Amino acid sequence: MNTRSQIERRPADLDVESEILLCPTCATANVLGASRCVECFRRLNEVAPSSPETARTVQHALDVARKRKRLLAIAGVVFVLMLLAGWRLYDFYGFTRFMGDPTTTISSTPASVNDWPMVHRNPSHNGLVRDAVFTPTGEVVWSFDFDTTISGSPAVVDGVVYVGAGRQGFVALDGGTGDTLWHQPMTAEVITSVTVAGDFLYGGLRDGRVVAVNRHTGDIEWELLTGNKVFSTPVVVDGIAYVGSGDFYLYAVDAATGDVRWTYRAGNAIVASPAVTEEVIAFMAQDRKLYILETKSAKLRFDYQVDFTGNSPSIFEDRVYVGDSDGVLRSIDWHQRTWPFEKAFAALRYQGWWFGLASLENQKGFVWGFSTPESSILGTPVSSDNLVYVTSSNGRLYAVDRETGLESWHFRVSGPATAAPTVLGDTVILADHQGRIYGLKAGTGQLLWEIQGLAGTISSPPIFANKTLYVVTEEGVLAAVR
């Protein structure tokens, strides 16, 4: 026999034509006389009876509303999942993966041993010609006086020497005779080295412009105006020109049209040329950080704090090399990445170290550091298969083992050394401010030959093409030496 509580909890049969109590909260039909709703247990003492027809109408509307809420909830979950998936794809691939291809595929990579298309020879700044053999006589075949200060290195492609000649603009000379082939004056001073890629010659100007000219005629093809002076030499890889500016931005532009594809903002001005490979872009900014970006995605892998430097880094195989004003040459593994919240944990660890509660670790990517005594590193490190070569302000060229970071040998020049050496096969070539050029045996540092008597202070690393060294002085003279 049913008790009263059991009768109250039994839902009403809407097919029976009798009055029921319709719960105002959940619209459940309850038998007449029930004190609480069988679903939500709300009190029904003051609820007026309703007809089954009214209850069916209300319950149908409630079922429709519930289904709509379920569908909206499912759609919301799907939308959130799609957003998360899209964010992860964007974070992994970067927005550049979804951009169209550049209009050209040109690169500033040397096509032969006779080409030197940009500062330090190639986009990764190796300054290395593996198969070159050079035994000079010291003869100055020709020289050209530009009558202006030249800030960077020339480039040589197909027997033509291209120079960013300061106030004179861009000049092309015959590499064999020194005769002028063409001259393109500019309204502002060229303050970078020049880069050749395809049919284009690129350079940066003091008024903030990046300029591309036709390397055969000197005609201006395109100009890009940045927000400050451009001291950074453009680097061209797979149809994209990469160049930094004093406005804190690294620009990636279509090498044929000058259209900006993307920009990356550093913490301060970028005055040195980036080093670029198919995998990564490494560049220094004046916030004392080395930035390493994904080439294809423009996404930051990680940054590395160093002392102040205006030097470009170099990339050789799986290492980035950079020297700073504190006299330290560092080898950094560019494969590393910064993970979410990693910098926050690093900051907490630093606070713990400050209070003696934790130890400090080397920065991400650190492999080794080589310190020069009471000096600063000058210029870009140059690598061969086993050694890294770097000059310092104490007048020494150091050869450092690439694997261990230990000194292999050093050589002291007669006067202050120029920014960086050049490696030609088994010979390391170094110039100094007294107009001397030295040839050293790469493995031992033994002096093989010396050229003296060049007039002026050699201001940039000698470049090599067509069995000739091309040397620029601070006084604006370009000399071809054999």
The pLDDT assigned to 5 comes to 43
Alpha carbon distance 12, 187 (integer Å): 93
The pLDDT assigned to 132 comes to 83
The per-residue pLDDT for range 115-135, each reduced to its tens digit, is 999 999 999 998 899 888 888
User: Of 71, 93, 115, which residue sits at a domain end?
Assistant: 93
Tell me: do 368 and 431 sit in the same domain. Answer: yes
Both tokens of 49, joined, read 């009876």
Tell me: do 167 and 85 sit in the same domain. Answer: no
Residue 116 lies in a domain: no
Only one residue has tokens 């590393």, namely 336
Tell me: do 193 and 71 sit in the same domain. Answer: no
Residue 231 lies in a domain: yes
Both tokens of 13, joined, read 């049969």
Residue 41 lies in a domain: yes
Tell me: do 46 and 185 sit in the same domain. Answer: no
Residue 119 lies in a domain: no
DSSP characters over 174-230 = ETTT--EEEEE--SS-B-S--EEETTEEEEEBTTSEEEEEETTT--EEEEEE-SS--
Alpha carbon distance 125, 141 (integer Å): 27
| pLDDT tier, 8 (very low <50, low <70, confident <90, very high otherwise) | very low
The pLDDT assigned to 10 comes to 47
User: Of 66, 93, 120, which residue sits at a domain end?
Assistant: 93
Q: If you ran DSSP here, which 8-state letter would residue 43 be given?
A: B
Alpha carbon distance 284, 282 (integer Å): 7
Residue 461 in contact with residue 431, Cβ under 8 Å?
yes
Residue 230 in contact with residue 210, Cβ under 8 Å?
yes
- What is the span of the domain harbouring residue 61? 1-93
Please state, as a whole number, how many other Cβ atoms lie within 10 Å of the Cβ of residue 139: 9
User: Of 78, 93, 108, which residue sits at a domain end?
Assistant: 93
H or E element that contains 71:
helix 52-93
Helices (H) and strands (E) counted in the chain, each on its own, are 3, 36
The pLDDT assigned to 312 comes to 95
The pLDDT assigned to 361 comes to 65
Q: Given the DSSP bridges, would you call strands 477-481 and 468-472 parallel, antiparallel or unpaired? A: antiparallel
Tell me: do 314 and 215 sit in the same domain. Answer: yes
Alpha carbon distance 482, 479 (integer Å): 10
Residue 160, Cβ density class (10 Å: 0-12 exposed, 13-18 middle, ≥19 buried): buried
Tell me: do 220 and 157 sit in the same domain. Answer: yes
Tell me: do 284 and 162 sit in the same domain. Answer: yes
Is 50 exceeded by the pLDDT of residue 7? Answer: no
Residue 14 lies in a domain: yes
The pLDDT assigned to 19 comes to 79
Computed over every residue of the chain, the mean pLDDT equals 88
* Amino acid symbol at 322: V
Only one residue has tokens 């020494």, namely 396
What pTM, to 2 d.p., does this model score? 0.81
Tell me: do 353 and 441 sit in the same domain. Answer: yes
The per-residue pLDDT for range 182-226, each reduced to its tens digit, is 999 999 999 999 999 999 999 999 999 999 999 999 999 999 999
Alpha carbon distance 379, 251 (integer Å): 22
The pLDDT assigned to 88 comes to 63
Both tokens of 279, joined, read 């995998």
Q: Where are the strands (E) in 375-474, listed by range?
A: 377-383, 387-392, 396-401, 407-412, 422-424, 427-431, 437-441, 447-451, 463-465, 468-472
Tell me: do 290 and 222 sit in the same domain. Answer: yes
Residue 457 in contact with residue 411, Cβ under 8 Å?
no
Query: What are the two backbone dihedrals, phi and then psi, of residue 138, each rounded to the nearest 5 degrees?
Result: 90, 5
Alpha carbon distance 95, 252 (integer Å): 13
- Please state which of the ranges 35-39, 311-315, 386-390, 422-426 shows the lowest mean pLDDT: 35-39
The pLDDT assigned to 359 comes to 55
Tell me: do 195 and 299 sit in the same domain. Answer: yes
Residue 98 lies in a domain: no
Task: Kindly give, in sequence order, each residue whose CB lies less than 8 Å from that of residue 70, ignoring residues fewer than 6 positions away.
Answer: none
Residue 114 lies in a domain: no
Number of domains composing the chain:
2
* Distances from the Cα of 295 to the Cα of 114, 173, 229, angstroms: 28, 34, 24
The per-residue pLDDT for range 423-465, each reduced to its tens digit, is 999 999 998 888 889 999 999 999 999 998 777 788 788 899 9
* Amino acid symbol at 472: V
What's the CATH code of the domain at 464? 2.130.10.10
Tell me what the mean pLDDT of segment 15-33 comes to.
77
